[in-house]
Amino acid sequence: MPRSRRGTPVAQSTARLLWGLVGANVLVYVAWQMAIRQGEESLWVGVMADHFLVSLEAMFAGRVWTLLTSAFSHIDPFHLFVNMLALWVFGRDVYRVTGSRGFLHLYVVGALLASIGHVAYSLLSGSPNPALGASGSVMAIAVVFAALYPRRILLVNFFIPVPAALAVAAYVVLDALGVFGGTTDNVAHAAHLGGAAYGLLYWLIVLRRKRLPRQRRG
10-residue averages of pLDDT along the chain (218 residues): 51 80 97 92 92 96 97 96 95 92 96 96 89 96 96 85 94 91 79 96 88 46
Domains, the chain, ranges and CATH?
12-210 (1.20.1540.10)
DSSP 8-state class, residue 158: T
| 118 noted as active-site residue | no
Catalytic residue among 70, 73, 135, 137: 135
Q: Would you say 192 and 175 are in contact if contact means Cβ atoms under 8 Å apart?
A: yes
Q: 10-15: long-range contacts (C-beta < 8 A, 24 or more apart)?
A: 10/92, 11/96, 13/100, 14/91, 14/92, 14/95, 14/96
From CA 132, how far away is CA 118, in angstroms rounded?
Answer: 10
Report H helices in 70-134. 77-125
Length in residues, the chain:
218
pLDDT at 183: 65
Q: What is the pLDDT of residue 211?
A: 64
List 74, 118, 189, 192, catalytic entry: 192
4 is catalytic: no
